[in-house]
Amino acid sequence: MLQNRGLGYLAAIIGIAAVTGICALLRNHINEMTVALAMLLVVLFIATAWGRWPGLVGSVLGMLCLNYFFLPPIYTFTIADPKNWIALTAFFITALTAGQLSDWVKQRAAEAEASKSQARLASTYNRSLLEASLDPLVTIGHDGKINDVNAAAETVTGRSRAELIGTDFSEYFREPEKARAAYEQVFRGGVVRGYGLELRHRDGHSTSVLYDGSLYRDASGNVIGVVAATRPISTYAGKPLSARPDPRIVTHLGLFVGFASLFSVAVGLLSLVGLAFRIAVLKSTIPGQPVIKFNAAVCLVLLGLSLWLLREHDDRPFPRTGKVFGQLMAATTALLGLLSVTEHLAGWDLGIDQLLFREPAADAFLSVRPGLIAPITALDFRLCMRISRDPHFRLPSVER
């Protein structure tokens, strides 16, 4: 509707007429300056909404109405006082200039929006080109920092796009100086083909790659960076490269592992509090059901702490110590499970059921023996031995 210029001319006529009528009714309470400012506001609105020509019409109409209805002698276009000529000319120039400036600002805003749209389209196009490649692709700036990557680069490095962008390209290779020389050679010579490098994954393993690089330019032909393609050949151990997990899936699994570990610790601690202070709702969430055993509550705490410590974190202080403690806690949980399963199968009493806490007789209903963990629970804890025995077992963590 605002694009119709004919409507703009009509709005200019109606707007100036409305201001003239209202100000004529209030003639005894306002002066000529107030009338001029009101008309100037109408001109600004018209020029902003419909452009310079309707604004120009509004300026001319405003000048004529101001002269005819408000400047003495009124109801005539005669101007008796020379000062009114100056005032009327100043009004016309001001209204005309304001209208032109409003139209200019509107045009510039439209041009800026068009430029933003073109930039968004160009960015989307560039992203689609990057993602179309099955090999890892990276764009590098003059400073050696990564500007953009595709999903294959995320997979082969084990890092998300947000982690990679803005970091030094060379730091993800086993020989950073060699990687830096590779992209600097592109800036000097324009292209590099088949440059052998060792790309480093965040979990420590390496992938042999062939690096191809070429310059990319802006619309004016100026060099803005390097496009680097790294074609994987094999892993560091010489084995064929296998598919790497999707970083997004790893992130969600990391969230699940973190939640599971905290939940296990919380349930175990609440159960220990319930047993120690005889709080019924903490010992058994469903009235009338078996009460959790003290050893089972301890195992839940150990298992939760083990899951937390065995999460994969390269930036965590003393990662080896944390992993060792995590495996020891998992081994302790598995050992308690194994001994409890043995007690169930052989009918033995190894003296571990009430070693730390003597269970009241009222809580031992539906149990084979006071303090003895249920067989299915003991078997679940026994399976934790898988974690404690595998030195390469690592749990995903949340990407940062």
**162-211 tens-digit pLDDT:** 899 999 999 999 899 998 988 888 888 888 888 889 888 888 888 888 99
Among 74-78, 260-264, 312-316, 389-393, name the one with the lowest average pLDDT. 389-393
The pLDDT of residue 239 is 44
Minimum mean pLDDT among 33-37, 245-249, 322-326: which range? 245-249
What pLDDT is attached to residue 220? 81
Q: Is residue 225 pLDDT above 80, yes or no?
A: yes
Picking from 289, 271, 267, 269, the residue whose alpha carbon sits closest to that of residue 279 is 271
Residue with tokens 């016309």: 92
- Rounded mean pLDDT of 254-266? 85
Terminal C-alpha separation, the chain: 49
Alpha-carbon torsion, ordered 231, 236, 238, 244, to 10 deg: -60
Confidence of residue 126 (pLDDT cuts 50, 70, 90): low
H or E element in which residue 340 lies? helix 319-346
Give the chain's domains with CATH numbers: 5-110 (no CATH), 134-235 (3.30.450.20), 247-389 (no CATH)
User: Residue range 360-370: average pLDDT?
Assistant: 74
pLDDT at position 130 is 75
The answer to whether residue 238 scores a pLDDT higher than 70 is no
Q: CA torsion 236→237→242→245, rounded to 10°? A: -60
Predicted local distance difference test score (pLDDT) of residue 82? 73
The model carries a pTM of 0.42
pLDDT for position 240 = 42
pLDDT band at 241 (very low <50, low <70, confident <90, very high): very low
Which pLDDT belongs to residue 368? Answer: 76
Q: What is the DSSP letter of 234?
A: E
CA–CA dist 205, 194 (Å, integer): 21
pLDDT tens track for 63-103: 888 888 888 888 888 777 777 677 677 777 776 776 667 66
Taking the C-alpha atoms of residue 373 and residue 379, their distance in angstroms, rounded to an integer, is 10
